[in-house]
Amino acid sequence: MVFLEECSLLDREHSSSLSGAIEALEASILRLPVVGGARADLQDVKDAVGSAVDVMQVMGASTCSILSKVEGTSSLMLELAKVAAQEQALLDQTRDLLSTIAALHVKQCSLQGHLLQLKRRTSHIQL
């Protein structure tokens, strides 16, 4: 259960980071002049592009970090699936055994009833 909570937390953090990166990239792009005849300071354009590249590098590192955690979670989920399958098999076996026990109990009750009837018959014959 802890891993599922961690996965949810990672997902929220990743979404938050992604939203921040998108906002930063949009802000960098919006600073670039794109209308006809506009002039830009080369250093400002270089800084904006450099900022976008920095954000993308951070996103790449974050993605790699999350990927390793997801791979670990994936192997745990695989193990959990195996355990769940084993548990299902044991539950099926338990159900079958309980069914057999119930049938044997009915048989035992029937045999006890026949035994009582036989005892009564023999006690009446002896009188």
pLDDT tens-place string over residues 81-127: 999 999 999 999 999 999 999 999 999 999 999 999 999 888 877 76
> What number of CA atoms fall less than 13 Å from residue 1's CA on the CB side?
0
Cα 84 from Cα 86, distance rounded (Å): 5
Residue, of 46 and 27, whose pLDDT is higher: 46
Instruction: Return the DSSP state at 41.
Output: -
Number of domains in the chain: 1
pTM summary value: 0.46
- Nearest C-alpha neighbor of 30 from the set 52, 60, 53, 15: 52
* Residue-range definition of the domain harbouring residue 88: 2-126
